[in-house]
Amino acid sequence: MARYDNPASAPTIVAQAPCRADLAGGTVDLWPLYLFHPGAITLNFALNIQTTCRITPLSRGRIHLRSLDTKKEELFPGIDALRQARRFRLPLAARLLQFFAPKEGLLIETDSESPAGAGISGSSALMIAATAALARFTDRNLTLEQMRVIAQNIEAQIIQVPTGCQDYYPALYGGVSAIHLDADGIHREAVPVIPEAFEARFVLAYTGAPRQSGINNWQVFKAHINGDRRVFRNFEQITQIARAMHRALLASDWAETARLLREEWKLRRANAPRIATPLIDKLIRVAFRNGCQAAKVCGAGGGGCVIFLVENGSASRVATAIGDHGARVLPLQLARLGLRVQ
């Protein structure tokens, strides 16, 4: 492993941002889909599953990229060599470095507590952490919304399909978010909840990396843009469900929230049948026999994580049951805070 001298007086910058679980209104947050559904809203909440970006200055202008969770690294003699490159082992850090173009050398280390392909926006949260760290390193005074725009646009360049906006707001703000998608812009509203009561109602499980990460949303996006009336009607209903769920969460009406989550899951399956797998279907059946009231896949599905809304007092029973049937139960704690930079 290469080792470089760190200027003794130079500080290390550390930025952290949490992942998220989506509750309702996902995929509609892809531009311009929400413009076709006035009043569109997306609901999600930040998970205390963190992503981290650490930047340490290096002498002689050298660039060293290292991913701790994937155990990959990449080296460049300087920023000019990185900016001229077209292929990267670590595209997230490399593309952001191409944008920020720091004048000094650096070691940029990234890490994520999210399992691979979990559907809880580990990559988007890490984009926010890395964007904030590089903005601090290059003395760019960016607002949170400017960071969101940069992170979203560069992630679209990396994955080469449209990216939705919802994944970046839990990473920035933490808590529970209602993201209003309007013609005049995107507006995030904090949804007040009692964290402990909220956490008692949910179980999160990892089912394995998806076989076709990112494909489901892209297929649905194309169908919508191409005028598929069935998909359009489904998104109209998804938009109505998200608005109703927002009201239910504000009222702490868990029975109505569960009903709406079940309805949303039916529509998502109708839009993209591959969003579910045999294991996901089995886990949902097992969970319902043990106190689950509703369940849905996180993100684009095809694997990844499933979120279960359970009866009060049933979280441990549901977690044990699905764990016995092939799921990896993840700790679920609401991230009270969003982006932090030290």
One-character DSSP codes across 243-270: HHHHHHHHTT-HHHHHHHHHHHHHHHHH
**Do 183 and 45 fall into the same domain?**
yes
pLDDT digits (tens, 9 = 90+) for 64-115: 999 999 999 999 999 999 999 989 999 999 999 999 999 999 999 999 999 9
Q: Which of 152, 175, 190 represents a domain boundary (last residue)?
A: 190
In the predicted model, is pLDDT for residue 2 greater than 50? Answer: no
Is the Cβ–Cβ distance between 168 and 127 less than 8 Å?
A: yes
Residue 277 vs residue 107, higher pLDDT: 107
Cα gap 333→12, rounded to integer Å = 28
Residue 120 vs residue 273, higher pLDDT: 120
**Do 179 and 231 fall into the same domain?**
no
In the predicted model, is pLDDT for residue 304 greater than 60? Answer: yes
Find the mean pLDDT for residues 29-41.
94
**Do 185 and 199 fall into the same domain?**
no
**Do 174 and 199 fall into the same domain?**
no
**Do 86 and 114 fall into the same domain?**
yes
Please choose, from the candidates 307, 220, 222, the residue with its C-alpha nearest in 3D space to the C-alpha of residue 270: 220
Find the mean pLDDT for residues 49-68.
97
Confirm whether 325 is domain-assigned.
yes
pLDDT digits (tens, 9 = 90+) for 138-193: 999 999 999 999 999 999 999 888 889 999 999 999 999 999 999 999 999 999 99
Find the mean pLDDT for residues 113-127.
93
Q: How many domains does the chain have?
A: 2
Q: How confident is the model at residue 8 (pLDDT cuts 50, 70, 90)?
A: very low
In the predicted model, is pLDDT for residue 215 greater than 60? Answer: no
pTM of the model: 0.93
Cα gap 160→213, rounded to integer Å = 13
**Do 150 and 173 fall into the same domain?**
yes
**Do 61 and 143 fall into the same domain?**
yes
Count H helices and E strands in the chain, helices first. Answer: 11, 12
Confirm whether 200 is domain-assigned.
yes
pLDDT for 303 equals: 85
Mean pLDDT, all residues of the chain:
92
**Do 97 and 202 fall into the same domain?**
no
Cβ burial of 131 (10 Å; 0-12, 13-18, 19+) is buried
pLDDT for 4 equals: 43
Largest Cα–Cα distance of the chain, in whole Å?
Answer: 62
Q: How confident is the model at residue 10 (pLDDT cuts 50, 70, 90)?
A: low
**Do 148 and 82 fall into the same domain?**
yes
pLDDT for 3 equals: 45
**Do 199 and 157 fall into the same domain?**
no
In CATH, what number is assigned to the domain containing residue 245?
A: 3.30.70.890
Domain region containing 119: 13-190
Is the Cβ–Cβ distance between 45 and 6 less than 8 Å?
A: no
Confirm whether 211 is domain-assigned.
yes
pLDDT for 276 equals: 87
